[in-house]
A and B are shown apart, each in its own frame.
Chain A
Amino acid sequence: MKKVAKFFNKCSLGGKLSILFLIFLMLMAVFGTIFARHSAFIPSGSAFTAPNSEHFLGTDDLGIDLWAQLCEGAKLSLTIGICSALLSGIAGSFIGIICGYYGGVLDKIVMRISDILIAIPSLPLMIVMGVFFGAAIRNIILVLAIFSWTGPARIARSKVISLKEEKFIKIAESYGGGIFYLTFKHFLPAVFPIVMVSFIRLINRGIVSEASLSFLGLGDPTAKSWGLILNHAISFKAIYFTDFWKWWLVGPFAAITLTVLSIAILARDTEKFLNVKL
Chain B
Amino acid sequence: MKTTTKKTLEYLLTLFVIITLNFFIPRIMPGDPFTFVSSEENSVNTVYSDEEVARLKEYYGLDKPLAEQYGNYLKNTIKGDFGYSIYFNDTVLNLIGGRIVYTLPIALASLVLSCVLGCLLGCVSAYHRNRFFDRSSYLLITVFSQIPSFIIGIFFLFTFAGKLGWFPLSGAMTIFATYDTPLAQIRDILHHAFLPVLTLTLAHIGEFYLLSRNSMISVLSKDYITTAKAKGLAKKRVLYVHALKNAVLPIITRLCMSLGTILGGAVLIENVFNYPGLGTMMRQAITYRDYTLIQGIFLFFAVSVLLMNALADILYRKLDPRVAQ
Contact = CB atoms under 8 A, between A and B. Distances in A.
Given A116-B13, A256-B148, A121 B302 contact: yes
The size class of the interface chain B forms with chain A is 35 or more
A7 interface: no
B234 to A, nearest CB: 34
B25 A240 contact: no
Interface string A238-265: 0110000100010001001100110011
Contacts of A239: 162
A208 B157 CA distance: 19
A51 to B, nearest CB: 19
Interface in B124-165: 142-143, 146-148, 150-151, 154-155, 157-158, 161-163
Contact of A124 (B151, B155, B161, B282): B282
Contacts of B14: 115-116, 119-120
Contacts of B147: 257, 260-261
A212 B154 CA distance: 12
Contacts of B283: 216-217
Contact of B271 (A211, A216, A240, A268): A216
Given A119-B306, A124-B282, A249 B158 contact: yes
A234 B155 CA distance: 11
B264 interface: yes
A123 B306 contact: no
B286 interface: yes
Contacts of A27: none
A119 B162 CA distance: 37
B18 A120 contact: yes
B14 to A, nearest CB: 5
A230 interface: yes
Nearest to B283: A216
B272 to A, nearest CB: 8
B146 A123 contact: no
B29 A215 contact: no
B199 interface: no
A127 interface: yes
Nearest to B145: A264
Given A216-B283, A240-B163, A115 B10 contact: yes
B301 interface: yes
A265 B145 CA distance: 12
B26 interface: yes
Contact of B264 (A119, A123, A134, A208): A123
Interface in B7-22: 10, 13-14, 17-18, 21
B205 interface: no
A132 interface: yes
Nearest to A239: B162
Given A119-B305, A127-B282, A264-B143, A212 B298 contact: no
B215 interface: no
B268 interface: yes
B282 A260 contact: no
B13 to A, nearest CB: 7
B148 A211 contact: yes
Contact of B267 (A124, A234, A245, A256): A124
A148 to B, nearest CB: 16
Given A212-B148, A212-B150, A127 B267 contact: yes
B26 A128 contact: yes
A208 B147 CA distance: 9
B264 A121 contact: yes
B72 to A, nearest CB: 20
Contacts of A215: 150, 268, 271
Contact of B158 (A123, A240, A264): A240
B219 to A, nearest CB: 19
A142 to B, nearest CB: 14
A274 interface: no
A23 B190 CA distance: 45
B267 A123 contact: yes
B106 interface: no
B26 A120 contact: no
A131 interface: yes
Contacts of A129: 25
A124 B143 contact: no
B131 to A, nearest CB: 19
Contact of A123 (B13, B268, B309): B268
B296 to A, nearest CB: 12
Contacts of B305: 119-121
A257 B158 contact: no
A218 interface: yes
B258 to A, nearest CB: 12
20 contacts: A112-B10, A115-B10, A116-B14, A119-B14, A120-B21, A123-B267, A123-B268, A127-B267, A128-B286, A129-B25, A132-B28, A134-B30, A208-B148, A215-B268, A216-B271, A217-B283, A253-B154, A253-B155, A260-B146, A261-B146
**Closest 3 A/B residue pairs (Cβ):** A240-B162, A264-B146, A123-B264
Interface of A: 112, 115-116, 119-125, 127-129, 131-132, 134, 204, 208, 211-212, 215-218, 230, 234, 239-240, 245, 249, 253, 256-257, 260-261, 264-265, 268
Given A124-B282, A260-B147, 8 more contacts: A112-B10, A124-B267, A125-B302, A131-B29, A211-B150, A216-B283, A253-B151, A264-B143
